[in-house]
């Protein structure tokens, strides 16, 4: 699976963090506006010296940004946890894939869906193939690409849907259960800890099972989510919560490949050197 974000996405998100327009970036770097526009639109891969100049202006780590611009880094998969199966399913909204998950406790077979996608037939088919009937739906957030299929799954599985108390409730569930930071949800022998990780949305939440975090659109391998509610909250969620977990913790984002806390601390240009 390729990285979710290319150089152009990272630059736009870093500009967003400084509330800079493209003109501000032109002024700070002295680079031609047309070059920056083409770089942000994926039409131009700049020389390393230009990437370093952009990184310096935007408080990004230069060497790791070059690795991503040159497509030289891809994360290694986190190790599996013997206590559960985590099946990642690509569910499409148009041509745009979202990672949804089936989480099954190996001791009891009890299963949860994490995020529904917009068209969740893939999830329903996979649950049938596995011979499981999910007993809960966990939402990382309410965006349509992650929660648009809630009504279809609610009809198929008739089970409660968990969502953070700060997140607007999407349509489709007859049985919402609201959660708060630190809450624990039991799934068979598993304990799923809810970590509020706002910033992409106001009530974004990540789910921690042992050393596995299902994190929605908070952090991507080599990048971060789009700050739809607050860039500072999102940066804080990542630097003070997600990247404070043990290095071996697996991160399973809503888009792009899985990674680990340790790999993001070494390869993510937003956070290298900024964890204090």
Compute the least distance from the CB of residue 179 to Fe ion, in Å. Answer: 18
DSSP assignments along 187-236, one per residue: ETTEEEEEEE--SSSTT-EEEEETTEEEEETSEETTEE---SS-HHHHHH
Binding site for Fe ion (CB under 5 A): 143, 217
CA–CA gap between residue 249 and residue 137 (Å, rounded): 23
Identify which of residues 99 and 111 has a Cβ nearer to Fe ion in the complex. 99
How are the residues of the chain apportioned to helix, strand and coil, as percentages rounded to the nearest 5?
30, 25, 45
CA–CA gap between residue 271 and residue 41 (Å, rounded): 23
Identify which of residues 104 and 252 has a Cβ nearer to Fe ion in the complex. 252
Compute the least distance from the CB of residue 30 to Fe ion, in Å. Answer: 35
Compute the least distance from the CB of residue 96 to Fe ion, in Å. Answer: 11
CA–CA gap between residue 125 and residue 118 (Å, rounded): 15
CA–CA gap between residue 54 and residue 25 (Å, rounded): 8
Identify which of residues 110 and 196 has a Cβ nearer to Fe ion in the complex. 196
Helix (H) / strand (E) containing 88: strand 84-93
Q: Are the CB atoms for 137 and 161 separated by under 8 Å?
A: yes
Strand order in the sheet with 250-253: 184-187, 190-196, 205-209, 212-216, 250-253, 259-260
Compute the least distance from the CB of residue 98 to Fe ion, in Å. Answer: 8
Compute the least distance from the CB of residue 158 to Fe ion, in Å. Answer: 26
| 47: phi then psi, degrees, rounded to nearest 5 | -60, 160
Identify which of residues 66 and 205 has a Cβ nearer to Fe ion in the complex. 205
- Listed residue (217, 254, 221) closest to 64, CA to CA: 221
- The first and second tokens of residue 267, run together, are 């390869």
Helices (H) and strands (E) in the chain, counts: 10, 14
Compute the least distance from the CB of residue 268 to Fe ion, in Å. Answer: 19
Residue number of the CB atom closest to Fe ion: 143
Identify which of residues 61 and 167 has a Cβ nearer to Fe ion in the complex. 167
- The first and second tokens of residue 19, run together, are 């509330």
Compute the least distance from the CB of residue 173 to Fe ion, in Å. Answer: 18
């Amino acid at each position: 699976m390729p990285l979710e974000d290319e150089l152009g996405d990272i630059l736009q998100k870093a500009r967003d963090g400084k509330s800079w327009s493209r003109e501000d970036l032109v002024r700070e770097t002295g680079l031609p506006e047309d070059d920056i526009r083409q770089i942000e639109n994926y039409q131009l891969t700049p020389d390393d010296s230009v990437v370093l100049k952009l990184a310096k202006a935007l408080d990004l780590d230069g060497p790791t940004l070059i690795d991503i611009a040159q497509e030289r880094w891809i994360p290694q998969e986190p190790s599996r946890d013997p206590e559960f199966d985590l099946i990642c399913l690509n569910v499409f909204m148009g041509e745009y894939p979202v990672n949804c998950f089936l989480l099954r406790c190996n001791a009891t077979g009890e299963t949860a869906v994490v995020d529904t996608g917009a068209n969740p037939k893939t999830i329903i088919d996979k649950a049938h193939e596995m011979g499981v009937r999910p007993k809960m739906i966990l939402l990382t957030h309410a965006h349509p690409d992650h929660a648009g299929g809630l009504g279809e799954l609610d009809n198929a599985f008739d089970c409660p849907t968990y969502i953070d108390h700060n997140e607007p409730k999407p349509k489709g569930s007859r049985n919402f259960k609201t959660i708060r930071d630190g809450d624990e949800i039991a799934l068979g022998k598993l304990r799923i800890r809810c970590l509020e990780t706002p910033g992409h949305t106001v009530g974004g939440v990540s789910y921690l099972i042992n050393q596995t975090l299902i994190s929605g659109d908070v952090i991507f391998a080599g990048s971060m989510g789009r700050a739809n509610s607050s860039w500072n909250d999102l940066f804080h969620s990542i630097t003070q919560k997600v990247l404070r977990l043990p290095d071996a913790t697996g991160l399973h984002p809503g888009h792009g490949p899985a990674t680990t806390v340790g790999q993001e601390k070494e390869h993510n240009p937003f956070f290298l050197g900024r964890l204090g």
